[in-house]
Structure 1
Amino acid sequence: MLSLCYGAIGKAQSTINRSLELKVGQSLPSLPVFPVLNYEKSEIALGSIKDKVLILDFFDTYCVNCIAAMPNLQQLQEEMEDKLQIVLVTWQDRETIEKFFASHPYVREHSIKLVTIYSDTLLRSYFPHQGIPHTAWLLNNKVQAVTFSDFVQRQNIEELYFKGKINLPLKSDFGTEDTLLGGSVPESGLITSLRITGYQDGAVWQGIKMEWDSLRNVGKVYFHNADIFGAYVAAWSKIKKPTFVLKAQRVVWKAKEHDRYRYLGKGGKNEWLLSNGISYHRTYSRKTELSELAEIMIGDLSNALGLRVYWSEKEIPCLVLKRLPKAKKELSSDEGELEGTSVLAFMIDYKDSFPPVVDEVNSDVRMKIEDFSTLENLNKQLKKYGMILEEELRKVEVLVFEDLE
């Protein structure tokens, strides 16, 4: 999925009047000074920064991806100080942000001291968004780009600084399906239509969407800017309710070019999606359940991409959750936040440090498990509940990606 956080700030954006939104090419209006931290003064006048690339990076302290990007921003600021001014912008108050810089372990470890505007309401009216990080690029008081944070790279900063302009993919959280794919659904006469494209500028991946117009008896199902692997997984989840984390061990690649089907963590994902992302749009005239539309979607994608994607079984190394030989058949506990062994299995899989977990206990016992660092530590905690994790081979469900011949 894309590197976006939707949460408290996303909800706050719903009240923004988008009539104030600045487009690429427009100039900043006259701005007041803003209160800041990590700056030579207690206030900053953004309009006075005319001889440098000015990057406004919107964030909040709940956004993991925002925080993960900060060391890169800090390094660029230090190395390009004569050409660049990065300013973080948040709606959160001074006390919250001071505590964040003083106590967050990752921020302290990487010595993050970026200039930060706090308690903002005005700038996010000029640059409205629903997902963060959200990045506005300015030079000489003019908006040059609005992007994902992935594109904040040395070569892009230098290009804008030396050439005075830059062309980067637009991040817009408010693009509609009609504007992205060239017009509204016909009033009448439609049977079906299909469009599969690459990356759509101005769109973000927000899962598979379905809409039905009961007045015209016309529907549409669509998604934007997904990696191919993610598109298939999302479609299958509408047909077959997921009961486990789809770890790498549960995916079988029989497709030659699988490196372009799934993001492998090299470089920024949004930049990778420019070349490898896909978008999908189908309209239809018979009201249909999402599960049936998902099956149609899988067929459409497979025909277009020359793939066959299906569920199978394979014997692989697993962590098997078992009862201890002398444990009671029915476990009993009222403590802890983990409600049942299925939740425990999910949590261990989600940590991504172990082989897939197979739950052979299937209990709803409540557990308190705090240390997921090693198998030994997990088993010490599980012992009190009469359970143990053991490494064994098991036949499990796997998702197969195979080239069509």
Structure 2
Amino acid sequence: MLITCLFCLGMSAYAQENRHLRLGDTVPNIKLAHMINFPTATSTLSNFTNKLLILDFWDVGCLPCIAGFPKMEKLQQLFPKYIRILLVTKSSAEDVRKLFLHSAIARNCTLPMAIADSNLSSLFAYQTVPAYAWIDKNGVLNHFTGTPFYLKEEFIKQFIDGKKLNMPLKDEYGNFNCFESLLTEGGGRNLSNVSYYSMITHGINFDGQFGLPLVDFKTGRRLGIHMLNQSRVNLFLSAYTDSLPSNGFTRLENRVILNLADSINYQQYDQHYLDDHWKQDNIFCYEARLPPERMHLLYKVMQRDLCLYFDVKVRIEKRIKPCLVLKALNPINPTFKIRSKGGKQHLTLPYQTDSLIMGNTNFGQLIFAVELLFNSTNGSRQILLNETAIDPSTPVDIRIVKNVKDLTNFRKQLQVFGLDLVPEQKSINVLILSH
């Protein structure tokens, strides 16, 4: 019975993805309905044959894609007799027009562009950009990848000379259900009677990272934990979250000390999000399901699994660290100056404008905003602690405007509302990983 289910799953998956081109397929002569930087407003793919054709799939919201346009132009100039480069986007003509208004790089690009595309893009299995298709002079798809690493003079020469390039394949599912168990995703095996398991896999071809409870959709009862495309450090942080209290703050990477020779493998996804080679080796999924009477052991199981699989020892130690501590100036009545007066809910976060405006919005959004400002991917990565004792669901009114990323200015305005974000040396728990 199990063998039959596996066979059906494979056939079903192939049928769903069969419309996508595979390496070695001949690319059909697709019509390109909206052209820019080209002699005619429309074209067909046959106008780009008889040379190596590199399709650069991009989007108006992909800053790394747009930043790469000058590099692509330089390659076209270096090899005018041997390659053609076509920039392809699903973005609408209006969105591209708006991009040109504020991006000199996009506006000044001279490469031909196929915009508002649906025909050509639908042939390739991708959900994220950038993506690059290498089609030889005979119209055969040789490579489809998500890494710009091979867009270099040396690799172009190797390809022209007939040498093989070992590019990682980009092959992303367009219909992956991130909320379903990895063991049943795709309508596969009949494992509904399983009451306990734990598993670790390498990253999956799916657009996103998730850390969610595993839930029975019929009853709403929690069954376990379900984490997709996470770095090693994020997995350990999830397993030991109860040992690193922060009272609402979630980014805890700066509370990890790595005593490891291979520490680069424990870096964060956002440091390597364009490096497909690194992601293939260092992004993982974890899933565990326990019976209800054992659910309290869930994180103990996860700790055991991670330490065994990665051959790592973990200990929790107290260390003196510089922190930013969110405090109430009046501990007896901490919400005296911020408790909402009611009215319509309104929230403006500092990544939208240079301000933080909360009207009848829960206090947890302030914690989120502080983390966004002082412990985000592009921020200062401060260790943040919350000592306000304010319930995150408490509705509050807060207004902080202008230069909110400056800590001194942020504190001055926050103090008006009976709160402060105080730099202090604190003895806190840290997670130490060693072999």
TM-score by structure 1 length? 0.72
Task: Specify the alignment match of 1:345 in structure 2.
Answer: 370
Give distance in 1, aligned partners of 2:193 and 2:420: 62
Task: Specify the alignment match of 2:23 in structure 1.
Answer: 24
Task: Specify the alignment match of 1:393 in structure 2.
Answer: 425
With over 3 angstroms needed to count, the CA separation of the structure-2 counterparts of 1:113 and 1:292, relative to structure 1, is farther
TM-superposed CA distance for 1:74, in Å, is 2.4
Counterpart residue identity of residue 122, structure 2: S
Give distance in 2, aligned partners of 1:288 and 1:112: 62
Give 3-state SS (helix, strand or coil) of 2:84's partner.
strand
Task: Specify the alignment match of 1:47 in structure 2.
Answer: 46
Give distance in 1, aligned partners of 2:242 and 2:424: 31
How big is each residue's C-alpha offset from its partner over 1:186-208, in whole Å with a ceiling of 9 and x where there is no partner? 889999887756677x5676446
Task: Specify the alignment match of 2:63 in structure 1.
Answer: 67
Contact 1:77/1:85, CA 8 A, preserved across alignment: no
**Of residues 217, 231, 236 in structure 1, which corresponds to 2:235?**
231
Give distance in 1, aligned partners of 2:323 and 2:64: 31
With over 3 angstroms needed to count, the CA separation of the structure-2 counterparts of 1:249 and 1:229, relative to structure 1, is closer
- The alignment status of 1:259 with 2:264, answered yes or no, reads yes
Counterpart residue identity of residue 143, structure 1: L
TM-superposed CA distance for 1:322, in Å, is 4.0
Give 3-state SS (helix, strand or coil) of 1:122's partner.
coil
Task: Specify the alignment match of 1:301 in structure 2.
Answer: 306
How big is each residue's C-alpha offset from its partner over 1:80-109, in whole Å with a ceiling of 9 and x where there is no partner? 43244333322232121111122247857x
Number of residue pairs matched? 374
Counterpart residue identity of residue 301, structure 2: I
Counterpart residue identity of residue 231, structure 2: D
Counterpart residue identity of residue 74, structure 1: P
Contact 2:69/2:106, CA 8 A, preserved across alignment: no
With over 3 angstroms needed to count, the CA separation of the structure-2 counterparts of 1:244 and 1:104, relative to structure 1, is farther
Once the two structures are superposed, the pairs formed by residues 259-338 of structure 1 within 5 Å of their partners are 259-263=264-268, 265=271, 268-278=274-284, 295-309=300-314, 312-323=317-328, 330-332=336-338, 337=348, 338=357
Task: Specify the alignment match of 1:4 in structure 2.
Answer: none
TM-superposed CA distance for 1:21, in Å, is 1.3
TM-superposed CA distance for 1:224, in Å, is 6.6
Instruction: Point out the more displaced range, 298-307 or 219-228.
Output: 219-228
TM-superposed CA distance for 1:301, in Å, is 2.2
Root-mean-square deviation over aligned CA pairs: 4.5
How big is each residue's C-alpha offset from its partner over 1:319-348, in whole Å with a ceiling of 9 and x where there is no partner? 2334568x9961146675354332332222
Give 3-state SS (helix, strand or coil) of 1:385's partner.
coil
Counterpart residue identity of residue 305, structure 1: F
TM-superposed CA distance for 1:119, in Å, is 1.7
Give 3-state SS (helix, strand or coil) of 1:168's partner.
coil
TM-superposed CA distance for 1:272, in Å, is 1.7
Sequence identity, in percent?
21
Task: Specify the alignment match of 1:93 in structure 2.
Answer: 92
Counterpart residue identity of residue 307, structure 1: V
Give 5+ residue unaligned stretches, structure 2.
Answer: 1-14, 177-181, 349-356
Instruction: Point out the more displaced range, 96-105 or 331-340.
Output: 331-340
Counterpart residue identity of residue 75, structure 1: K
How big is each residue's C-alpha offset from its partner over 1:277-296, in whole Å with a ceiling of 9 and x where there is no partner? 446677x7968988855542
Give distance in 2, aligned partners of 1:94 and 1:289: 55
Task: Specify the alignment match of 1:57 in structure 2.
Answer: 56
With over 3 angstroms needed to count, the CA separation of the structure-2 counterparts of 1:298 and 1:380, relative to structure 1, is same
Give 3-state SS (helix, strand or coil) of 1:317's partner.
strand
Contact 2:73/2:109, CA 8 A, preserved across alignment: no
Contact 1:199/1:277, CA 8 A, preserved across alignment: yes
With over 3 angstroms needed to count, the CA separation of the structure-2 counterparts of 1:269 and 1:230, relative to structure 1, is farther
Give 3-state SS (helix, strand or coil) of 1:29's partner.
coil
Counterpart residue identity of residue 149, structure 1: T
Task: Specify the alignment match of 1:7 in structure 2.
Answer: none
Contact 2:326/2:385, CA 8 A, preserved across alignment: yes
Counterpart residue identity of residue 90, structure 1: T
Task: Specify the alignment match of 1:402 in structure 2.
Answer: 433
Counterpart residue identity of residue 378, structure 1: F
With over 3 angstroms needed to count, the CA separation of the structure-2 counterparts of 1:370 and 1:84, relative to structure 1, is farther
- The alignment status of 1:121 with 2:122, answered yes or no, reads no
Give distance in 2, aligned partners of 1:56 and 1:150: 12
Counterpart residue identity of residue 265, structure 1: Q
TM-score by structure 2 length? 0.68
TM-superposed CA distance for 1:25, in Å, is 0.8
Give 3-state SS (helix, strand or coil) of 1:379's partner.
helix
Give distance in 1, aligned partners of 2:291 and 2:19: 40
Task: Specify the alignment match of 1:143 in structure 2.
Answer: 141
TM-superposed CA distance for 1:17, in Å, is 7.1
Counterpart residue identity of residue 433, structure 2: E
Instruction: Point out the more displaced range, 20-29 or 333-342.
Output: 333-342
Contact 2:53/2:135, CA 8 A, preserved across alignment: yes
Give 3-state SS (helix, strand or coil) of 2:161's partner.
helix
Give distance in 2, aligned partners of 1:279 and 1:164: 35
Contact 1:67/1:107, CA 8 A, preserved across alignment: no
